Structure 1
């Protein structure tokens, strides 16, 4: 594909700045830009002009309908399509799209998760146009990014608190910048580049796995003879079928203005990754939702299925989403760029220490931002960051902070050059520090890589919590600096205090090790291992206080999310348990019995010959499969009883969620253990399910 084609298709289906500049009157364009760039209120008259231009542009692109596209608390997106047509008296139609239709929609708020904010009879909800994220055309529909709130004003989505948190962080960061005599920046924006991991498997095999269809992960499956132990898949040559999928995915994402940049094979067989160029956090969140949707849709065109579950296959690496987060001014200054001499860069050190303080003080809140049933399989499983929140800074910054704590920094370690020892190869500039892939929150040059987000989750929650807690740290620092008689001395004092008080959260070692778990406990760092344990931190007094102080979520909105997350866990495990029982009773148990019968018939046939032939191997195999089958049936009954027992727990959602984790989930693992043993001995022609080897090595 030539550069000309790339530049032609990129953003071709987006109502972006270039399109607006071309199609809108200058005054309308300037007014809209002020709203986008400076957060000024939107004039309804401006919306009317924009709506008409947007409609004409979309129709030229083949659009017949429009939709308010929003992100309810389901974790996925929602849309309702309305056509542009309006009948005329002569039996024809005209196309109409008003400013009112652009600005506001009214979906049914009671049909989405609300955690008690909306009852069934309280149905009214509103979608509001988010002009900071550009509209786009997809599948002949004009998509308008919107926020979603209830009739009484509470946020029922992920975008609203994200936008609120962005404003909160900008406000507090600007206070810091003004103190450092930076009077040119009008806004501070957070930027994100989310790296998306995923699996691709053959559609025909997927269709034979009820567990994948209904739950997104395999509930049974013995370990493949070969997994990832040869380390031959990571960055390996991309198979032709997968590469064809990636090419089409890139083209479709580029049309939507999504800057898909990097693609490669990941560690596990059939696992891959896509990484975009960073963008503003709001747009990056929208784009990541679109990326996941397009991955699933395009995979089907290639006879593949894209799996976004955090742990679709036991025994091989699961999938995450690395959230590369930074702060920048609207005029392009990265506030987390240390420069060549970071020990002298007080402004950078203030922002760095604000992040350190925020992560340490609100580690529990950041942990719940990544809580999901799927991520429970992944976090801390020697493949992903541990469930303990810590920060990797590397040698250079750690050394500078230690110098400050001991009285003042005088130098910065430099990377120098790397000589490879081959004369024809160039000397390479060496970074000032190594990387650490075991850290959940790692500094990587001019940004932090938050590695705990699950592959199927929206990045919105992690980012609005991250924005909010950093805004709080900046607020506290600003309060002190604005009252200081001696600014430089107060900066020095603040840096020293933060480093001494919060250095316990800094860890540059192996986050996978058992030693770190013990060390983290000594340091007093929380180790929240499961989603059920994480959810209650939403209602801790200090966490409610910080979210309310910065106007991101009210106590009522936090309470709703507490209920929604608990219900999500309960429903997810319940669906998995019921699916498991269905597969166990209707597929695996009959297959085991059929295999045992086949062996028994073989033994009888041999004995009926009257010949003195050895049947001990068959008899031992029959004994083994019969014993496992009996135990399998016993554990089916145990799991059924546990599922039925859940109905006895009423009016206590947390207690019910704990029951599903401690009783039902554990009994599911127990049933799986026997099912997987049966898979290893039952005749392959009788076994009803595609195996791990079939799925992971057949693309």
Structure 2
């Protein structure tokens, strides 16, 4: 297998190498310009590309093609069409036209649209994104596409991301040109998205309807052992999990996905996969494919891959670390400090633009990771808090302090790492430690945005990040382009930005209670839930920024607000109904059966002799009977809460009610159930316990 990896890698991708081999020279050059410079593709070229793509795909075993797109559901969508066409005399030919490659027409009526479309208005369009390579999956040629309505409104996650890339490039190039750079012609944002996930046994999973319906457990007492010993983290990978990882890597490598790192995470049954970074649009497509393949490969191994942010209460949840940087088409990383960051004006200008963006658009960054699932994870001492802040580390902090004070920066020499064992090699230690508690941390030549939930599409965080930084770069360029002396003006602007926005920088422990108090003093937002943050989508400041750069129209912003608010309500509603179903049909009968057996045991003992001690059985029967009565009361409370919510017609008020009342009723119901689970005999409990779920994969 190891020797075949280079041959295997990208074998199912219609990548640049395949194009060079199969396309006429002039067509190949045109495609390179389309991919690198965003040039338009005419129909004649599209026909040539489509035919070559079809021939390649058929040789690989493909029989169908699909426009693979990313609607507002958070997952991908496909409609498959075969290559076959009638040729007369009962024969067929395999054909694929440029028109079919460039444009598709799926039904748009049943996808989330936030009021952009009426149910009876079904027409929608998919448009080929030639900057992301086509690939073969399940004998189907998948063509990455954007998805938009009959009126041209974006109904997907890819379109705003592509728009934001253009906006970022435009504004970054304005800054680049001010430094006299005539070689660079494009600036891209790049991303590497680390993916956390849980693997559990499929047979155990299928006995937990809360996991099947909701992706997370709604009931479950803590097992005797959890993650307290930290023995799972980076531990030896179990054979069954290793087999899954090996097969997953093979499938990912076939699709040109640079799966690089894999290891056990902190919680039992939790793991992580990390790819090499690539252009943000391709990184987003790759992450969507990765999540799909994780589930598919897990199933082959009798496992289930859980991508919910918090599948188990009291156990670390799963996130997705978005490593974001800025690169030119000439290979320069604009967030690379260099040997003398204090003298690297270009680096400092892009750095302070990012600092200003994160400070001024804290609300949008928090919103970009908002979901009902992620609300359970953020701020739970396993993930960053809901307060957005930046970590820059000691070295960069010293640079920023010197800029603010006007004093000369006295950089520290690199220190040799010594551990007192002569046989171990010596090496230079990094100038700055890492901060795993920070939501937005500098890690050398990139920023790691750690707030993303494991199930989220990375498109939303990245189109928001691209846009807000583009906005700050545009303001910088407006000032610097008219400056009499660029160097003086740039240094002045850098210093002013550091002074005005240093409140967003925090290099300490983001998990501490003291930071919450300090953040409030600084005027930073603490938007704890999805419902708290969603209204900020509609603020004038945010609408202005996104419409100004053509990333979203005001209509599209309102539609996304509606989709997210409605989605939150639906998720919590489904969870509440699932809780009621399990409580009434499974938990109550199980507890009653156990109490019945306790009562019969007491009766039998007394028939033998009144001297036999029945205290333990009597006490347990009384305790469980009292808990059952309280449990029934909480069931009725949750049912009443759902009935009240059903009558509400104001969307925001309904979401607030679910957040404040329904979730509280669910928590109270769970508390009693988990207490009863601790007391009821194992053979009576109606579904697998946390111990079985977390430790079943051997």
Please report the TM-score for the alignment, with normalisation by the length of structure 1.
Answer: 0.99
Query: What's the offset of the Cα at 1:40?
Result: 1.2
Q: Deviations over 1:403-453 (max 9, x none)?
A: 001115433334321111111111121111000000000000000000001
Equivalent residue number for residue 673 of structure 1: 671
Query: What's the offset of the Cα at 1:657?
Result: 0.7
Q: Deviations over 1:617-652 (max 9, x none)?
A: 1111111111111111111111111111112101x1
Query: What's the offset of the Cα at 1:182?
Result: 1.1
Equivalent residue number for residue 19 of structure 2: 20
Query: What's the offset of the Cα at 1:88?
Result: 2.0
- Please give the alpha-carbon distance, in whole angstroms, between the structure 1 residues aligned to 2:24 and 2:526: 56
Query: What's the offset of the Cα at 1:331?
Result: 1.0
Query: How do residues 388-467 of structure 1 correspond to structure 2 at under 5 angstroms?
Result: 388-467=387-466
- Please give the alpha-carbon distance, in whole angstroms, between the structure 2 residues aligned to 1:213 and 1:618: 35
Equivalent residue number for residue 311 of structure 2: 312
- Please give the alpha-carbon distance, in whole angstroms, between the structure 2 residues aligned to 1:44 and 1:409: 59
- Tell me, yes or no, if the aligned pair for 2:538 and 2:557 is still in contact at 8 Å: yes
- Please give the alpha-carbon distance, in whole angstroms, between the structure 2 residues aligned to 1:644 and 1:590: 24
* SS of corresponding position for 1:643: helix
- Please give the alpha-carbon distance, in whole angstroms, between the structure 2 residues aligned to 1:460 and 1:103: 22
Does residue 369 (structure 1) correspond to residue 353 (structure 2)? The answer is no
- The one of 691, 694, 697 equivalent to 2:692 is 694
Equivalent residue number for residue 56 of structure 1: 55
- Tell me, yes or no, if the aligned pair for 1:414 and 1:431 is still in contact at 8 Å: no
Query: What's the offset of the Cα at 1:612?
Result: 1.5
Query: How do residues 204-223 of structure 1 correspond to structure 2 at under 5 angstroms?
Result: 204-223=203-222
Query: What's the offset of the Cα at 1:616?
Result: 1.2
Q: Deviations over 1:281-300 (max 9, x none)?
A: 00000000000000000001
- Please give the alpha-carbon distance, in whole angstroms, between the structure 1 residues aligned to 2:132 and 2:27: 17
- Tell me, yes or no, if the aligned pair for 2:221 and 2:690 is still in contact at 8 Å: yes
Equivalent residue number for residue 578 of structure 1: 577
Query: What's the offset of the Cα at 1:102?
Result: 0.2
- Please give the alpha-carbon distance, in whole angstroms, between the structure 2 residues aligned to 1:661 and 1:346: 47
- Tell me, yes or no, if the aligned pair for 1:401 and 1:409 is still in contact at 8 Å: no
* SS of corresponding position for 2:481: helix
Equivalent residue number for residue 685 of structure 1: 683
- Tell me, yes or no, if the aligned pair for 1:342 and 1:412 is still in contact at 8 Å: no
Unaligned ranges ≥5, structure 1:
none
- Please give the alpha-carbon distance, in whole angstroms, between the structure 1 residues aligned to 2:388 and 2:431: 24
Does residue 631 (structure 1) correspond to residue 626 (structure 2)? The answer is no
Equivalent residue number for residue 36 of structure 2: 37
Query: How do residues 76-225 of structure 1 correspond to structure 2 at under 5 angstroms?
Result: 76-225=75-224
- Please give the alpha-carbon distance, in whole angstroms, between the structure 2 residues aligned to 1:635 and 1:409: 65
Equivalent residue number for residue 302 of structure 1: 301
Query: What's the offset of the Cα at 1:151?
Result: 0.6
- Please give the alpha-carbon distance, in whole angstroms, between the structure 2 residues aligned to 1:124 and 1:664: 37
* SS of corresponding position for 2:562: helix
- Tell me, yes or no, if the aligned pair for 1:396 and 1:432 is still in contact at 8 Å: yes
Which shifted more, 288-297 or 424-433?
A: 424-433
Equivalent residue number for residue 525 of structure 1: 524
Equivalent residue number for residue 654 of structure 2: 656
Q: Deviations over 1:125-170 (max 9, x none)?
A: 1000000000001110000000000110110000000000001001
Q: Deviations over 1:452-483 (max 9, x none)?
A: 01100100000000000000111111111101
- Please give the alpha-carbon distance, in whole angstroms, between the structure 1 residues aligned to 2:124 and 2:578: 34
Query: What's the offset of the Cα at 1:42?
Result: 1.3
Query: What's the offset of the Cα at 1:2?
Result: 3.0
- Please give the alpha-carbon distance, in whole angstroms, between the structure 1 residues aligned to 2:472 and 2:603: 78
- Please give the alpha-carbon distance, in whole angstroms, between the structure 1 residues aligned to 2:179 and 2:173: 10
* SS of corresponding position for 2:519: helix
Does residue 74 (structure 1) correspond to residue 73 (structure 2)? The answer is yes
Call closer, same or farther: CA 1:106–1:409 in 2, change over 3 Å: farther
Equivalent residue number for residue 265 of structure 2: 266
- Tell me, yes or no, if the aligned pair for 1:396 and 1:414 is still in contact at 8 Å: no
Please report the TM-score for the alignment, with normalisation by the length of structure 2.
Answer: 0.99
- Please give the alpha-carbon distance, in whole angstroms, between the structure 2 residues aligned to 1:288 and 1:36: 20
* SS of corresponding position for 1:614: coil
- Please give the alpha-carbon distance, in whole angstroms, between the structure 1 residues aligned to 2:537 and 2:621: 54
- Please give the alpha-carbon distance, in whole angstroms, between the structure 1 residues aligned to 2:475 and 2:431: 31
- Tell me, yes or no, if the aligned pair for 1:233 and 1:267 is still in contact at 8 Å: yes
* SS of corresponding position for 1:684: coil
* SS of corresponding position for 2:191: strand
- Please give the alpha-carbon distance, in whole angstroms, between the structure 1 residues aligned to 2:356 and 2:657: 35
* SS of corresponding position for 2:109: helix
Unaligned ranges ≥5, structure 2:
none
- Please give the alpha-carbon distance, in whole angstroms, between the structure 2 residues aligned to 1:552 and 1:58: 34
- Tell me, yes or no, if the aligned pair for 1:341 and 1:411 is still in contact at 8 Å: no
Query: What's the offset of the Cα at 1:44?
Result: 1.5
Equivalent residue number for residue 247 of structure 2: 248
- Please give the alpha-carbon distance, in whole angstroms, between the structure 2 residues aligned to 1:526 and 1:588: 41
Query: What's the offset of the Cα at 1:334?
Result: 0.3
Which shifted more, 256-265 or 410-419?
A: 410-419
* SS of corresponding position for 2:528: coil
* SS of corresponding position for 1:200: strand
- Tell me, yes or no, if the aligned pair for 2:398 and 2:409 is still in contact at 8 Å: no
- Tell me, yes or no, if the aligned pair for 2:69 and 2:156 is still in contact at 8 Å: yes
Equivalent residue number for residue 608 of structure 1: 607
- Please give the alpha-carbon distance, in whole angstroms, between the structure 1 residues aligned to 2:417 and 2:20: 48
Q: Deviations over 1:238-281 (max 9, x none)?
A: 00000000000000000000000000000000000000000100
- Please give the alpha-carbon distance, in whole angstroms, between the structure 2 residues aligned to 1:99 and 1:207: 45
Equivalent residue number for residue 2 of structure 1: 2
Query: What's the offset of the Cα at 1:603?
Result: 0.4
